[in-house]
């Protein structure tokens, strides 16, 4: 293992190999060794030290994890953070009411005092990254089982992280890379006083909604603005009126010079997850089980939600964020399956596996080390199919799909504390559960959930073999004669979880006996038990998979010794570089690299909520009142394409030009390359970005919030 670690750190750059320049989500400490020469040849005017430095300010100091799954960037000396509208969507929804509908109307704080505290929202800075592979491998013995190995890695990682943060307010974690063949320590700093500053109305921030999602040409102003607040020492602190805007080590200058084809473009951010080392068996599982199930279940649930949302403004606000999260990866799964099939990715993976096997069989040493890899993976994937199918159905239809079951499942711990009779423990659990319930009911509509539940229980029973079904389904069959609507309606009528008044009344004088009689709780315990049992079986099967994957990736690294390699994304900061570029998605079709406000007006449909255009935006368009943000031909740019390699989690990432200036905000991938998490397609894969000139135009001309423009460093 030490040999692999040294090999990884000492990789020699050999561009002109099978990796294209635009492919790769690169680790920042290795930019100097692996990337900087090619990047500078493409036009970059910065050094590796200016991108990532531990001792000096660098671009990485302007990049943050925004919330739980997005990226943001600092764009002023006063802690102003730019991210996507869809990244800020949950917070915008959190502050919205029927009286102040910020989702529909937008929000603009015209002073610091009007900026809205957003409890629960955090931003996190990367302090440093350190390779700790040698330390980790010292504790990982060849004779360990995969389960023992993972436990040892977790324990040693926690020890290293604790030692790295003693005496500081930082947090740290050790993460594995390259399938457990390399480990890095990541030290972070997290701020919790984050305030909402600005967001366009959804007619701009989500223009095109589901129809245009993952599509080009795109005309969405997908941005929102927040601000980090700190204490008087510029350190993280909980919300206080005494806190002041955070002063970052670095913020990005904002360029309004625009973009041209072949211009250098770099993105720093937090890509969530890629699986570039996925095998053919896994791709087949992804298409036939994971994506197919998600497409089928979510379409049905989303149709029910959307019907209620369009009929009632209060329901729309409550379910806006839930619907958006669900529909995003529903459509992603549709596009991914189409791309995986059209581009024949399974065949490509089989060729990779044949090449790997031939390489392994070349020497006895390789056979001894890697010959099990692919068989461990294939056997595990083939053995787990039924369990993957059922656990996904339980999650999509019941534990997450039916909200009353989700809340009731959270009460299982409360029941255990009530049975213990320990007052301190009981009081603590009641407090925790009350807080969960408060959050839950804020965005809950009983009638909507009841409609969903009738369908979700039914399709679960229809698509899961009886031997895998929770015993509550035997009750439905025996007592309710498979009348799922009757069962659900009775559960909602009787259960305390369907009614906040009933639940809060119960929490004043809770008892395990009353919980045990509750229809919703009975169903949730039955479902939860089955899910736990199935997951335990899956974990056993996946131990072999994990070992096979680690060996397979380790073999690929050894096989490609001397080539620049990058690990799969795992929501750690990465750098990707490329250029501004158009593309040809299919025969006789060409897509330009940029869109303009003309396209918004062409798509306008006042009878379709996805394509409504604000009157003020139409007025500005009619007058061509674009200020200094227009193109030389007088048109208003909206979005542009780049060849950067990104995935989910990169949403909100800054697109940076050759001088280190902000030119746009990444927000999507393109439909034709939805297989990109598995295989990078250089001719097809594009990142869709909001042109920063459109962002500034909306802030300045549409919203009139010029104070925000004034605090930015604008490069003309």
Note the pLDDT tens digit of each residue in 287-314. Answer: 999 999 999 999 999 999 999 999 999 9
Pair 430, 491 in one domain: yes
CA angle 216, 649, 532 (to 5 degrees): 120
Closest alpha carbon to 673 in 601, 613, 591, 574? 591
CB atoms within 10 A of CB 245: 19
* 137 found inside a domain: yes
Q: Which residue has the higher pLDDT, 691 or 7?
A: 691
> Cα dihedral sign for 25, 27, 28, 32?
negative
Pair 83, 224 in one domain: yes
Q: How confident is the model at residue 252 (pLDDT cuts 50, 70, 90)?
A: very high
* 168 found inside a domain: yes
* 27 found inside a domain: no
Q: What CA–CA distance (Å, rounded) separates 167 from 163? A: 9
Q: How confident is the model at residue 238 (pLDDT cuts 50, 70, 90)?
A: very high
Pair 128, 248 in one domain: no
Pair 387, 458 in one domain: yes
* pLDDT value of position 173: 98
Given a contact cutoff of 8 angstroms between Cβ atoms, the answer to whether 661 and 255 are in contact is yes
Pair 363, 492 in one domain: yes
For 386-411, b/e burial (b = at least 16 CB within 10 A) is ebbbbbbbbebbbbbbbbbbbbbbeb
Q: What's the whole-number average pLDDT of the chain?
A: 95
Given a contact cutoff of 8 angstroms between Cβ atoms, the answer to whether 359 and 558 are in contact is no
Q: What CA–CA distance (Å, rounded) separates 185 from 54? A: 13
Q: Is the pLDDT confidence value at 13 over 70?
A: no
Beta bridge partners of 637: 596
Q: Is the pLDDT confidence value at 370 over 60?
A: yes
Q: Give me the phi and psi of 370, to 5 degrees please.
A: -120, 0
Task: Determine the structural domain holding residue 578 and report its residue range.
Answer: 39-60+69-107+192-257+568-665+690-716
* 272 found inside a domain: no
Is residue 389 flagged as an active site residue? no
Closest alpha carbon to 127 in 10, 201, 235? 235
What's the pTM? 0.94
**85, 86, 389, 519: the active-site residue:** 86
Pair 522, 581 in one domain: no
Give the 3-state secondary structure of residue 45: coil
**22, 212, 222, 449: the active-site residue:** 222
Pair 197, 187 in one domain: no
Q: How confident is the model at residue 15 (pLDDT cuts 50, 70, 90)?
A: very low
Pair 187, 204 in one domain: no
* 556 found inside a domain: no
| Residue where a domain terminates, one of 547, 578, 605 | 547
Domain total for the chain? 3
Q: Is the pLDDT confidence value at 263 over 70?
A: yes
Q: Is the pLDDT confidence value at 392 over 70?
A: yes
| Residue where a domain terminates, one of 486, 515, 547 | 547
Is residue 240 flagged as an active site residue? no
Give me the helices (H) in 207-261, please: 209-212
* 539 found inside a domain: yes
Pair 253, 286 in one domain: no
CB atoms within 10 A of CB 619: 11
pLDDT in tens, 647-683: 999 999 999 999 999 999 999 999 999 999 999 999 9
**53, 58, 524, 651: the active-site residue:** 651
Q: How confident is the model at residue 22 (pLDDT cuts 50, 70, 90)?
A: confident
Pair 53, 176 in one domain: no
* 159 found inside a domain: yes
* 586 found inside a domain: yes
Pair 575, 645 in one domain: yes
Beta bridge partners of 268: 575
Is residue 284 flagged as an active site residue? no
Phi-psi region of 437 (alpha: psi -120 to 50; beta: other; left: phi over 0): alpha
| Residue where a domain terminates, one of 547, 581, 603 | 547
Pair 181, 202 in one domain: no
């Amino acid at each position: 293992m030490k040999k692999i670690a040294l090999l990884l750190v000492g990789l020699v750059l050999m561009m002109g190999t099978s990796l294209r320049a635009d492919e790769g989500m690169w680790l920042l400490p290795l930019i100097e060794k692996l990337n900087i020469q090619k990047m500078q040849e493409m036009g970059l005017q910065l050094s590796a030290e200016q991108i990532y430095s531990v001792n000096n300010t660098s671009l990485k100091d302007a990049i943050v994890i925004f919330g739980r799954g997005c990226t943001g960037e600092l764009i002023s000396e006063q802690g102003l953070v730019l991210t996507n509208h869809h990244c800020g969507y949950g917070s915008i929804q959190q502050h919205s009411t029927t009286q102040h509908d910020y989702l529909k109307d937008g929000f603009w704080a015209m002073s610091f005092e009007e900026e809205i505290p957003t409890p629960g929202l955090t931003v996190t800075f990367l302090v440093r990254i350190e390779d700790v592979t040698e330390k980790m491998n010292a504790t990982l013995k060849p004779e360990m089982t995969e389960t023992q190995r993972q436990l040892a890695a977790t324990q040693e990682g926690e020890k290293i992280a604790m030692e790295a943060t003693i005496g500081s307010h930082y947090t740290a974690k050790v993460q594995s890379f390259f399938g457990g063949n390399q480990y890095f320590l990541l030290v972070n700093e997290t701020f919790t006083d984050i305030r909402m500053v600005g967001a366009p109305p959804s007619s701009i921030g989500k223009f095109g909604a589901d129809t245009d999602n993952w599509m080009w040409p795109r005309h969405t102003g997908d941005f929102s603005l927040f601000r980090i607040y700190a204490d008087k020492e510029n350190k993280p602190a909980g919300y206080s009126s005494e806190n002041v805007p955070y002063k970052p080590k670095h913020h990005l200058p904002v360029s309004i010079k625009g973009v041209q084809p072949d211009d250098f473009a770099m993105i720093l951010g937090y890509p969530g997850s890629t699986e570039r080392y996925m095998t053919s068996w896994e791709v087949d599982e992804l298409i036939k089980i994971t994506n197919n199930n998600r497409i089928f279940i979510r379409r049905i649930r989303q149709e029910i939600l959307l019907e209620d949302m369009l009929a009632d403004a209060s329901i729309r606000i409550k379910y806006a964020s839930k619907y958006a999260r669900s529909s995003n990866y529903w459509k992603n799964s549709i596009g991914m399956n189409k791309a995986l099939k059209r581009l024949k990715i399974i065949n490509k993976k089989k060729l990779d596996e044949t090449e790997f096997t031939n390489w392994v069989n070349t020497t006895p040493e390789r056979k001894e080390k890697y010959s099990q890899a692919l068989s461990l993976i294939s056997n595990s994937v083939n053995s787990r199919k039924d369990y993957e199918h059922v656990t996904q159905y339980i999650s999509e239809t019941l534990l997450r799909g039916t909200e009353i079951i989700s809340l009731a499942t959270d009460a299982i711990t409360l029941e255990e504390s009530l049975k213990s009779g320990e007052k301190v423990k009981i009081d603590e659990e009641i407090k925790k559960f009350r807080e969960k319930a408060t959050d839950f009911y804020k965005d809950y509509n009983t009638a909507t959930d009841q409609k969903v539940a009738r369908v979700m229980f039914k399709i679960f029973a229809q698509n899961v073999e009886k031997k895998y079904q929770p015993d509550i389904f035997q009750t439905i069959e025996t007592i309710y004669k498979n009348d799922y609507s009757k069962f659900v309606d009775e559960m909602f009528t009787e259960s305390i979880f369907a009614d906040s008044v009933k639940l809060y009344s119960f929490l004043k004088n809770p008892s395990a006996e009353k919980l045990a009689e509750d229809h919703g709780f009975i169903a949730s315990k039955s479902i939860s038990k089955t899910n736990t049992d199935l997951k335990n079986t899956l974990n056993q099967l996946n131990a072999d998979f994990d070992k096979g994957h680690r060996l397979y990736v380790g073999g690929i690294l050894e096989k490609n010794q001397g080539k620049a390699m990058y690990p799969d994304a795992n929501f750690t900061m990465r750098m990707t570089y490329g250029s501004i570029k158009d593309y040809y998605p299919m025969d006789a079709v060409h897509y330009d690299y940029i869109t303009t406000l003309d396209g918004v007006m062409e798509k306008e449909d006042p009878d379709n909520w996805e394509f409504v255009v604000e009157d003020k935006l139409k007025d500005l368009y009619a007058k061509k009142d674009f200020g200094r943000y227009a193109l030389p031909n007088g048109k208003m740019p909206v979005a542009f394409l780049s060849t950067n390699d990104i995935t989910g989690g990169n949403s909100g990432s800054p697109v940076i030009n050759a001088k280190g200036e902000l030119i746009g905000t990444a927000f999507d991938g393109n439909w034709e390359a939805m297989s990109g998490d598995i295989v990078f397609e250089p001719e097809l894969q594009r990142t869709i970005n909001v042109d920063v000139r459109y962002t500034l135009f909306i802030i300045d001309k549409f919203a009139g919030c010029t104070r925000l423009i004034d605090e930015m460093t604008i490069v003309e």
